[in-house]
Structure 1
Amino acid sequence: MSLSVGDVAPEFSLPDQDKHVVSLADLRGRPVLVVFYPFAFSGICTGELCQLRDELAGYTEAGVEVVAISTDPTFSLKAFREKEGFEFPLLSDFWPHGDTARAYGVFNDKAGMALRGTFLVDADGTIAFAEVNQPGDPRAQSGWKDAVAALPTAA
């Protein structure tokens, strides 16, 4: 079962495409958009992450950190990031395989991959937006933008 709005976001510490560890705890104090996707280089995933890349300024200008997580190894993520020019970290949930996706309730055991789960974690670590799409079901990112717009602004 995936997480819902109001739940505390599970902590994670995962290597990025350059093997630098990124922890949710280190990002505390600002909102974080956590985007799970099945596989690097797959058609729908590439389209979704390229749209996120192209619209990244809308998130960063709102003070939102963006991280994308898949069960791919870091080597694949590095090649994917370089090919597509992503400026946000691609995190590897490769080993223990899918543990972070499981914690968020978006791991597909039969396929060994993350579902298309999207979670906006507020500055305090609470889920402010949650959406899970099944394999082959692309996400509409308008909901993410609405959730970011609804975040309280810093005083």
Structure 2
Amino acid sequence: MEQDPVPVDLGRPAPDFELPNQFGEPIRLSSLRGSPVVLVFYPFAFSGVCTGELDELQAAGAEFSRSGARVLAVSCDSKYALRAYARDRGYSFDLLADFWPHGMVAGAYRAFDAGPGRPLRASFVIDAEGLIQAEVRSDPGTPRPVQAYLDALKEMV
């Protein structure tokens, strides 16, 4: 399925949403204003490339904390699967369930592949005012570099 390479114009407001995290707690993007957010869409919990990417996010946690950024990882898995995934891998950031309506938030960012019903590998670095400042995408099976997020956060300072 052909995807638009630029889901939203950089510098424009990030589409707001509210999704449950792995504990069922609602996380609303607009309530996080005042600090940057790294929004990471990934296809599937427990899959190889996705696990590698999220492990790298966890390993870089101190660097994200230093920049004041909150990491939100979003898939279409249920909150129950995400809770097991976070527990199994030791993730300390929020895993958000874009489960129902299926992929609605990923769709708002043009980061949803309706064919297989999963998010694309698309990430957005959002500044403290809620504006999208950077986008990082990769092809299926290709991990996104964590350094791209860290570089985007440094540029926002």
Counterpart of 1:59, as a letter, is: F
Q: Distance in 2 between matches of 1:95 and 1:9?
A: 20
- Pair 1:114 & 2:119 matched: yes
Hey, what does 1:60 align to over in structure 2?
Answer: 65
% identical equivalent positions? 42
Q: Which runs of 5+ in 1 are unaligned?
A: none
Q: Distance in 2 between matches of 1:13 and 1:128?
A: 20
Q: CA deviation at 1:85?
A: 0.3
Q: CA deviation at 1:10?
A: 0.2
Hey, what does 1:43 align to over in structure 2?
Answer: 48
Hey, what does 1:31 align to over in structure 2?
Answer: 36
* Cα deviation code 1:23-64 (max 9, x no counterpart): 001101111000110000000000000011011110111110
Hey, what does 1:74 align to over in structure 2?
Answer: 79
- Residues 99-110 of structure 1 aligned to structure 2 (within 5 Å): 99-110=104-115
CA RMSD of aligned residues (A): 0.9
Q: Distance in 1 between matches of 2:136 and 2:122?
A: 6
Q: Distance in 2 between matches of 1:102 and 1:133?
A: 17
- 4+ residue stretches of structure 1 with deviation over 6 A? none
TM-score (norm 2): 0.94
Partner SS for 2:91: coil
Paired positions, count? 152
Hey, what does 1:84 align to over in structure 2?
Answer: 89
